[in-house]
Structure 1
């Protein structure tokens, strides 16, 4: 799998377009006036956990996506990713607007975006680009609607599998519609859109925070269309931008056809390259440990691959690489112990031993700039190896809304 994704990775990280007016090549110095206000880590088109439109792509259709920004501003720009496209992505037109309900937007707020001064743009295969800035006043924690009209046939789409929010599709060109009547199809994934950035608002005092990890960071088990992910709960507690860089099923050490590139490969793109980031909170490793156990269970989940037995030493070595990469950029890293997961598909004798060793290192090594102990904080009082039922989703592996609020409250003082 690593060999299959290596050319895509090299292209995605080294040959990107970073604005509508720049060409592929070296990454320019970050502009301190801009801050990442929302993000979603891109993934290879795949079936994933639920049905989506990534493999079929789009043709003569309008795609409308609603996201909540975590910073205010009077100018906005979007970032589009074609990281896993094998041909250029033709975007006929794009708009941004303030959200009202569902696919409807506030009349008078629709802004047509340009890319290098033009409304249409081609995103190179394996590349990304930013739009030009558009004037639009946005409040912190306000929802913004991004609409793309794709007049051509895109082929399989770079996407983010688990949005926990509805995206909408209409036949034909409806990019400037203020009602949602034409948007009759829904999906709970995001497509092509992997960032919203703002400028001109209140300067954040300490910079932005990126939450980096797997499905727990991504928000699995949270209430759909309610903004109750771990990242949402944190953004409501701190007056700073928060970006969610979680991918459900993601692994630290191995690429997955369903759950994205390994974290050691995507860390720079999805975390460190976010404008304005000064802190990354890292929570990951339970899939590396647990997929091997899940493979031994009756009727194993077919997407839990690759599933080699992973040692604590291998995970610790990878954590150190992430810490070093962040520190080289002057970014702090908050380490998080793995949550309790006894009684889940990921649990077994090897997983129990390895997770205990990993959590001990996270707590005691002193290599993180700060540590939050989720394992103890969310443990069942009757069995500390299991997740507290008050904080647990039905699968006992992921938190529920209450659990995510507890996590955010613990992280807030450390970031």
Structure 2
């Protein structure tokens, strides 16, 4: 094997409905009936890189969101998160349907979702829950549209900042509309929706793959509304569910007001607790190394100067957590980033030490060496221009496709 890719009704509270709130303690046996087919990591409401509705929230509105599934089934359910809400969240109603174009859905495919048998539900502050199953036949790589009607005033909304896909907002109740005319407002974030699970067309089991990391995993620089993230390209190459747990700007060791909780704080919720997961691919650390190199970047806080040893301790914590759940964890070397805002003499030294440890420590179950395989042949510390977005830090569509090509054989082995 290539050594560069190697092994080693007023809404009722959820509790009143008899629903099981998702707290990370749900048994493996209970979760095995479902497979996560799409996921997004929740974040604290924030200004973000592009205009979004997280800080203002919603009031008497309907929000419609389009996602592409990486697993198929004849039943579907959604997972909703109020993780960063400071008050209960009233969901007046929700639907799921096959996507048509834009905010439109296919006629005849709209399914009203229930929660403990009722169409309305209240999610406690900091809580999350799943809907009941809805009968809807879906294939791998189908897109579905999830619509939430929020008749009350929500306050700031738990969201995922960088969706690289349009979400839509309308005034009033348009959860059952098949057309998209009412949805005049757009945003490129996801709100409250943290997952879609499927069940029914394949034996229950654990073969899901979670890609966990920062903006490179999240898909920064990919073409919006085109499903060209690294996770999308991988899902097109392996017959396994692929879940994206990236957050732009996320840090391995520290929480951030803009870029989410640190990895150890969100790893179980965003990766290990997803139903059907057997493998995590970890690609993270460049922000921990590079934020302190950047100047005049107010969002790059905290930005302590960190050693390779501190980062390695963070990786080991995630490795232990994965192995405690009998989940395989694959380590990815950090991509080349010379010439970017994150680069400097100290960053050069620490990133080299970190990548050397990832390659040779034997502590990951397997290693994929993106650093070497995406490097500029003329200057290996730089990202190959053939695969680079304009900032030199992130891949472009071709770069994300190349990452998927490199990783896919390891996941088929």
Q: Distance in 1 between matches of 2:189 and 2:162?
A: 5
Q: Distance in 1 between matches of 2:380 and 2:68?
A: 35
Name the structure 2 match of 1:252.
252
Name the structure 1 match of 2:26.
28
TM-score w.r.t. the length of structure 1 is 0.93
Preserved CA contact (<8 Å) 1:161 1:189: yes
Q: Distance in 1 between matches of 2:359 and 2:75?
A: 41
User: What secondary structure, in the 3-state scheme, does the structure 1 residue paired with 2:288 have?
Assistant: helix
1:104 counterpart = 2:100: no
Report how far residue 27 of structure 1 moved.
Answer: 2.3
Preserved CA contact (<8 Å) 2:91 2:120: yes
Q: 1:178 to 1:199 in 2, by over 3 A?
A: same
What is the number of equivalent residue pairs in this alignment?
395
Report how far residue 413 of structure 1 moved.
Answer: 1.8
Preserved CA contact (<8 Å) 2:22 2:128: no
Indicate the larger mover: 347-356 or 23-32: 23-32
Preserved CA contact (<8 Å) 2:281 2:329: yes
Report how far residue 410 of structure 1 moved.
Answer: 1.1
Report how far residue 301 of structure 1 moved.
Answer: 2.1
Q: Distance in 2 between matches of 1:72 and 1:24?
A: 22
Match of 1:365 among 341, 361, 367: 361
Report how far residue 24 of structure 1 moved.
Answer: 7.7
1:348 counterpart = 2:344: yes
Preserved CA contact (<8 Å) 1:205 1:240: no
Report how far residue 205 of structure 1 moved.
Answer: 7.3
Preserved CA contact (<8 Å) 2:33 2:204: no
Report how far residue 264 of structure 1 moved.
Answer: 1.0
Q: Any residues of structure 2 matched to 1:145-164 within 5 Å, and which?
A: 145-164=145-164
Report how far residue 412 of structure 1 moved.
Answer: 1.1
Q: 1:24 to 1:274 in 2, by over 3 A?
A: closer
TM-score w.r.t. the length of structure 2 is 0.94
Name the structure 1 match of 2:266.
266
Name the structure 1 match of 2:395.
399
Q: Distance in 1 between matches of 2:51 and 2:203?
A: 40
Report how far residue 411 of structure 1 moved.
Answer: 1.0
Runs of 5+ in structure 2 lacking a partner? 1-13
CA shift digits 1:243-270 (9 cap, x unpaired): 0000000000000000000001100000
User: What secondary structure, in the 3-state scheme, does the structure 2 residue paired with 1:96 have?
Assistant: strand
Q: Any residues of structure 2 matched to 1:148-297 within 5 Å, and which?
A: 148-203=148-203, 207-294=207-294, 297=295
1:408 counterpart = 2:404: yes
Preserved CA contact (<8 Å) 1:20 1:115: no
Preserved CA contact (<8 Å) 1:78 1:193: yes
Indicate the larger mover: 282-291 or 24-33: 24-33
Name the structure 2 match of 1:92.
92
Q: Any residues of structure 2 matched to 1:133-144 within 5 Å, and which?
A: 133-144=133-144
Q: Distance in 1 between matches of 2:23 and 2:270?
A: 18
How large is the Cα RMSD of the aligned pairs? 1.4
Preserved CA contact (<8 Å) 1:334 1:414: no
Preserved CA contact (<8 Å) 1:48 1:303: no
Q: Distance in 1 between matches of 2:333 and 2:23?
A: 38
CA shift digits 1:135-160 (9 cap, x unpaired): 00011100000000000000000000
Preserved CA contact (<8 Å) 1:204 1:241: no
Q: 1:290 to 1:20 in 2, by over 3 A?
A: farther
CA shift digits 1:83-117 (9 cap, x unpaired): 00000000000000000100000000000000000
Q: Distance in 1 between matches of 2:366 and 2:213?
A: 16
Q: 1:34 to 1:157 in 2, by over 3 A?
A: same
Report how far residue 50 of structure 1 moved.
Answer: 1.6
Report how far residue 21 of structure 1 moved.
Answer: 1.8
Report how far residue 414 of structure 1 moved.
Answer: 1.8
Name the structure 2 match of 1:128.
128
Runs of 5+ in structure 1 lacking a partner? 1-15
Report how far residue 200 of structure 1 moved.
Answer: 0.4
User: What secondary structure, in the 3-state scheme, does the structure 2 residue paired with 1:94 have?
Assistant: strand
Preserved CA contact (<8 Å) 1:62 1:173: yes
User: What secondary structure, in the 3-state scheme, does the structure 1 residue paired with 2:201 have?
Assistant: coil
Deviating beyond 6 angstroms after TM superposition, the runs of 4 or more aligned structure 1 residues are none
